[in-house]
A and B are shown apart, each in its own frame.
Chain A
Amino acid sequence: MTDLTVRGLIVHDGRGRAVLSGIDLDVPAHSVVAVTGPSGSGKSTVLKAVLDVLPPGLRRTGGEVRWAGAPVAPGRAAVRWRRRCTGLLAQDPVSTLNPLWTVERLLSEVEGGADAARLHALDLDPAEVLQRRPHQLSGGQAQRVALARATAGDPALLLLDEPTSSLDADTTRLVADLVRRRREEGLGATLLISHDHEFVSALADHVVDLGSTGSGFTPPAAPPPEDDVVLHVDALGIAHPVPLLHDATFEVRRGELVVVVGPSGSGKTTLLRALAGLHEQYTGLVEVGGTALAPLPRRSREHLRAVQYLPQDPFAALNPAHRATSAVARAARVLLGLSRDRATSAALELLAAVRLDAATGHRRPRQLSGGQRQRVVLARALVAEPRLLLADEPTSALDDRTAEAVLGVLADHRARGLAVLAATHDPRLVRCADRVLRWRHDALSDETTRHPTRGGTTR
């Protein structure tokens, strides 16, 4: 039988720390096995170690991978096995497409890739896409081309790395259908890495949990907001680079969590960047704490501290040269005027509050997982004790347990008066919100006021 057996897989990093210690995994033929776990638990590393494609710095120091009963030795044997028997949909699949190649060439590189029927099944029109290069495709099309490459020729083992976090909804649905069809028609085994409980439980025959993720997501409670207005936005218009927003008026009160929802590309990020002072071309009045908020170069010290921005991509937001603790401590030094020692202890305190220990704080961004980076950026924003937090997708990349921890920290700070304006697609965050602002065309409308159902009663 073509099945995958992994016994006692051990991976060490360059400093001799164990990243994986003794992982066992059985993927019987035609089954679907999912590996889940909180961020930083080594889910992606399992997959890379099995395929023998560990990044530099990580070494497989023990264990055995067997395919169809025969051991797969690392090195050339593993290369042959990967080519012959496996297909991989990587975590950011579009980045694996050579930008200089046409889709036709990308697909013909793998056996059976350019099969027209298969492309139609993936909602790709061969006449339309074959002669294009990746940058001429839409995001969804590019993802489906990557999927077509991964599944061409029905590999005996298909590996999917976090398919739900990087793919759009349509492609995710296609992946789910495809995985089901593989199982029903006995086309091969599937190994799936994901932190998405619903996706995993709908598809997997067997789940391997690398550390308890808790079951499901419980939104943390926060007391109802007060009447103090922290952010007052009046007749805000953003017409640059393209008309995005016209005449938006809203308020955010002390302790309130307001989320902005709307289709991607509607301008949610630009709105937050405008309020953070990073996007200067807007019209209208923005007040924080009763005084007008100036664009960055002229913004007062008090406003710099009071308004903190949490960008969407935490990896880009962290300087690769600075350790997590010093990044957070620097914000405390500059914005609160603390001494070096007191800033460091404040940083360690906040990192502990977002469940990062001192050893993790000593790492640089490259050595942190995606969820850990998100929490470092959050700690850096909160250490300044802001009055308003502008958060761009603060929980989307996080598993349930980490999202809960992040929202718990936000709830603690909201209890002490922090107002949060968040842009998101994440239903878990929307569930916690006091109010939802929906983006329609170029207007924001206040959609719900649901204090009574929030907080303690949803538990």
Chain B
Amino acid sequence: MRSAWPTAAVFAVVLAGGLLAPHDPVAVSGLPFTAPGGDHLLGTDVLGRDVLSRSLTGGAGLVVLAALAGAVTCGIGVACGLVAGWRGGWANRVITAVADVLTAVPVLLVALVIAIAVPGPVAVVAATVAGGAPLTAQIVRDATRSAKSAGWADAARCRGETTAALLVREVLPAMSGLVVAEAGLRFVLGLQLACTLTLLGFGAQPPAADWALMLRENLPGAAANPSAVAAPALLLATLACVVALALRSRRDAEVTA
């Protein structure tokens, strides 16, 4: 559990960072693309807004959206995987067929098509589900299939447990490590898609403070104030790394538990 603290701290800073911002993140407070120094620790952006304040503010929306997308994706994938693995037969064939088709279509293409039809955040969630849920479902299905013949599943059947109780109380806890890992991976996928759609102009809209939007807006002035691009890019990379490391340390902890 010790390993959970750094992750929690990073998420707390990302979510509540706006409270630490020295300037209003959407107000113009200087000349465009001022180099770092003086009042602006990381300089100013394309419209002369404070980069530090915008960086501190710009992660919360992304993280919330990615977490929502990851949770919905993982929930749908786990539910489909459990049903397909446990019931087998036609349920398995239908779910596997749908999953195979979705896996075969490039996720970015799906995301773009959806983004044209619906608002950005909805598109991010829908595209993450389309891209991630089939993978989760397949992994959970295989794990469920092997759990079906496990001795502890026999024991639960001999107690007369209902199928629902068996899946929720026995199978799901037995694969909790797998489910958490899947949730983490789908969170990262949600983060990627949220950034991609924003970069392409479908996600967060100006003047919102958003890391992906900052990359898009500030790229032309990267020579004058590199930190206007480097800060959000570094923060995004850090967030993805922290999640990956947390998953890794959890897996190690499971091995030793």
Bound together, the chains give a CA A364 to CA B256 distance in angstroms of 12
Residues in A with CB closer than 8 Å to B158 are 276-278, 296, 304, 308-309
Determine if A319 and B174 form an interchain contact, defined as CB atoms under 8 angstroms apart. yes
A1 within 8 Å of B (CB atoms): no
Q: Could you tell me the distance between the alpha carbons of A56 and B150 in the complex, rounded to whole angstroms?
A: 25
Residues of A in contact with B, size category: 20 to 34
Which one of A56, A304, A330 lies within 8 Å of B255 (CB-CB)? A56
Residue among A56, A301, A317, A321 with the highest chain B CB neighbour number at 10 A:
A321
Q: Which of A320, A331, A364 contacts B159 (CB 8 A)?
A: A331
Asked if A299 is an interface residue, CB under 8 A from chain B, the answer is yes
B159 A56 Cβ-Cβ under 8 A: no
Chain A neighbourhood of B157, CB < 8 A: 277-278, 296
In the bound complex, do residue A278 and residue B154 qualify as a contact, i.e. CB atoms below 8 Å apart? yes
Contact of A56 among B160, B176, B252 (CB under 8 A): B252
Residues on B with beta carbons closer than 8 Å to the beta carbon of A93: none
Are A57's CB and B256's CB within 8 A? yes
Q: Evaluate contact between B257 and A304: CB separation under 8 angstroms.
A: no
Q: How far is the CB of B148 from chain A (nearest CB, A)?
A: 12
Enumerate A43-83 residues with CB–CB distance to B below 8 Å: 55-57
Which of B151, B174, B257 contacts A367, CB < 8 Å? B257
Complex interface bits, A307-334 against B, C-beta within 8 A gives 1, otherwise 0: 0110101001111111000000011001
Expressed in whole angstroms, the Cα–Cα distance for A14 and B255 within the complex equals 11
**Interface status of B24 (Cβ within 8 A of chain A):** no
Q: How far is the CA of A57 from the CA of B253 in the complex (A)?
A: 8
Contact between B155 and A14, CB atoms less than 8 A apart? no
Contact B152 A319 (CB under 8 A): yes
Given contacts A56-B255, A301-B160, A304-B159, contact A319 B154 (CB under 8 A): no
- Chain B neighbourhood of A320, CB < 8 A: 174
What CA separation (Å) do A57 and B218 show in the bound complex?
A: 48
B255 touches A321 (CB 8 A): no
Given contacts A278-B157, A334-B161, contact A319 B173 (CB under 8 A): yes
- Given the contacts A277-B158, A278-B157, A321-B173, A311 and B257 also touching, CB distance less than 8 Å: no
Q: B170 at the A/B interface (Cβ < 8 Å)?
A: yes
Q: How far is the CA of A278 from the CA of B159 in the complex (A)?
A: 12
Bound Cα distance A367, B257 (Å): 7
Asked if B256 contacts A56 (CB within 8 A), the reply is: yes
- Interchain CB contact (< 8 A) of B152 among A55, A278, A308, A316: A316
Q: Tell me if B159 and A317 are in contact (CB < 8 A).
A: no
Given A56-B252, A56-B255, A321-B173, A316 and B151 contact (CB-CB distance below 8 Å): yes
Residues in B with CB closer than 8 Å to A57 are 255-257
Complex: chain A residue closest to B170, CB-CB:
A319
A335 at the interface (CB under 8 A from B): yes
A321 to B176 CA separation, bound complex (whole angstroms): 8
A14 to chain B: closest residue by CB: B256
Q: Which residues of B contact A56 (CB under 8 A)?
A: 252, 255-256
Closest to A363 in B: B257
Contact assessment for B174 and A321 in the assembled complex, using a CB-CB cutoff below 8 Å = yes
Task: Give the residues in chain B near A435, CB-CB below 8 Å.
Answer: none
> Taking the nearest CB of chain A, how far is it from the CB of B257, in angstroms?
6
B154 / chain A contacts, CB cutoff of 8 Å:
278, 309, 311, 317
**What residues of chain A lie closer than 8 Å to B255, measured between beta carbons?**
56-57
User: Is the pair A311, B151 in contact by a Cβ cutoff of 8 Å?
Assistant: yes
Complexed CA–CA distance, A449 and B171 (Å)? 44
Whether, in the assembled complex, A454 has its beta carbon less than 8 Å from a beta carbon of chain B, the answer is no
- Does any Cβ of B come within 8 Å of A366's Cβ? yes
Chain B residues positioned under 8 Å from A367 (CB to CB): 257
Query: Which interface residue of B169, B173, B256 has the most chain A CB atoms within 10 A?
Result: B256
Please measure, in the bound complex, the distance between the C-alpha atom of A320 and the C-alpha atom of B152, giving whole angstroms.
Answer: 9
- Distance in Å from the Cβ of B82 to the closest Cβ of chain A? 15
The residue among A313, A330, A367 with the most chain B CB atoms within 10 A of its own CB is A330
A144 an interface residue at 8 Å Cβ cutoff?
no
A:273-314 near B, CB below 8 Å:
276-278, 296, 299, 301, 304, 308-309, 311, 313
Encoded as 1 (CB less than 8 Å from any A CB) or 0, chain B from 239 to 257 comes to 0000000000000100111
How many Å lie between the Cα of A367 and that of B154 in the bound state?
22
Q: A300 to chain B: closest CB distance in Å?
A: 9
Instruction: List residues 33-86 of chain B with CB under 8 A from any CB of chain A.
Output: none
Q: Which residues of B contact A313 (CB under 8 A)?
A: 151
* A182 proximal to B (CB < 8 A): no
Q: How far is the CB of A370 from chain B (nearest CB, A)?
A: 14
Compute how far the CA of A331 lies from the CA of B256 in the bound complex, rounded to whole angstroms: 28
The reply to whether the CB of A414 lies closer than 8 angstroms to some CB of chain B is no
Task: Flag whether A380 is at the interface (Cβ < 8 A).
Answer: yes
Which residues from chain B contact A366 at a C-beta distance below 8 Å?
257
Cβ B160 vs Cβ A299 within 8 A: yes
Within B202-238, the residues touching A (CB, 8 Å) are none
Chain A residues within an 8 Å CB radius of B161: 334
Within 8 A of A (CB), among B126-184: 150-152, 154-155, 157-161, 169-170, 173-174, 176
* C-alpha gap A334/B160 in the complex (Å): 8
A377 to chain B, nearest CB (A): 8
Using Cβ atoms and an 8 Å threshold, which residues of chain A touch B256? 14, 55-57
The residue of chain B having its C-beta at the shortest distance from the C-beta of A318 within the complex is B152
Bound together, the chains give a CA A330 to CA B170 distance in angstroms of 11
Inter-chain CA distance A207–B241, complex, in Å, is 53
- Kindly list chain B residues whose C-beta atoms are within 8 Å of the C-beta of A311: 151, 154-155
Question: Hey, which chain A residues are within 8 Å of B173, CB to CB?
Answer: 319, 321-322
Give bound CA distance, A366 to B170, whole Å: 16
Inter-chain contacts of B257 with A (CB < 8 A): 14, 57, 364, 366-367
Nearest CB of chain B from residue A65's CB, rounded to whole Å: 23
Residues of chain B contacted by A335 (CB below 8 angstroms) = 159-160
**In the complex, what distance in Å separates the CA atom of A280 from the CA atom of B175?**
28
Shortest Cβ distance from A317 into B: residue: B151
Give bound CA distance, A317 to B157, whole Å: 12
Per CB-CB distance, the 8 closest pairs between chain A and chain B, nearest first, are A57-B256, A316-B151, A321-B173, A317-B151, A319-B152, A304-B160, A56-B256, A334-B159
A-B contact pairs, 22 of them (CB 8 A): A14-B256, A14-B257, A56-B255, A57-B255, A57-B256, A57-B257, A277-B157, A277-B158, A278-B154, A278-B158, A296-B158, A299-B160, A313-B151, A316-B152, A317-B151, A317-B152, A319-B174, A321-B173, A330-B159, A330-B169, A331-B159, A364-B257
**Extra inter-chain contacts (14) besides given A56-B252, A311-B155, A319-B173, CB under 8 Å:** A56-B255, A278-B154, A278-B158, A296-B158, A301-B160, A304-B159, A309-B158, A311-B151, A313-B151, A316-B151, A317-B152, A334-B161, A335-B159, A366-B257
